[in-house]
Amino acid sequence: MHWLARAGDVDGAMRVWAEMKAKSRPTVVSYTACVKILFDFGRAEEARRVFKEMVAEGLRPTCKTYTLLIENLADTENFEATLDNIDKLKEACVKPDKALCNILVQKCSRACETSVLTCILQYMKEHFNVLCRPFFLEALEALKSSGDTNELLREVTIIFHVKALTMIQYCLIKAIVLIEVLFSTLGPMLLKHRLNAKTLIRGSA
């Protein structure tokens, strides 16, 4: 299915998909792959139908599956449905990840949809998700153009610096611990060699 889609034969890929379903029950991974192919080739209605079919089969969509659906909704500037699906994702105990949040920030910024952008930023702040600098700049420009405050955006950006500082502190602590371990291991050996050397010097004298 994947190779047919890459060759541009989407209909052929869908025939393979139909054959797969006839032989056995597809997994979430297979459904997600099918949804991605359909979205990639602009067949959004079919993709949503496959998504609904997957849910009806009792399979639990993954974050990647939801990301495909939510990203497509954002592409069509259907931001109300985008938020609805984010809520469904959270209800399914699947947390929107950093990649999805960054994608949505970018799409909201480009569409100047600052109300949804604010919701995404609030979620990122609460869950300590880091916002990439290029998307930060786009969001900053969108908020500036709409006359909205950028305070929340800057609070999310602080998370990046805090995480970076935390990582530096972690590395320093690890280095100190390693030095202490080496010293505790090699220290007695060095002291012993030093004493032996002194003994030899005295003996030769």
In a domain, 79, yes or no: yes
In a domain, 42, yes or no: no
The pair of structure tokens assigned to 154 is 């800057």
Among 94, 96, 99, 120, CA closest to 108 = 120
In a domain, 181, yes or no: no
Query: By percentage, how much of the chain surpasses pLDDT 70?
Result: 77
Q: Which domain holds residue 123?
A: 60-163
pTM: 0.66
The more confidently predicted of residues 185 and 57 is 57
Among 123, 56, 122, 74, CA closest to 95 = 123
Q: How many domains does the chain divide into?
A: 1
In a domain, 199, yes or no: no
Pair 92, 60: CB distance under 8 Å: yes
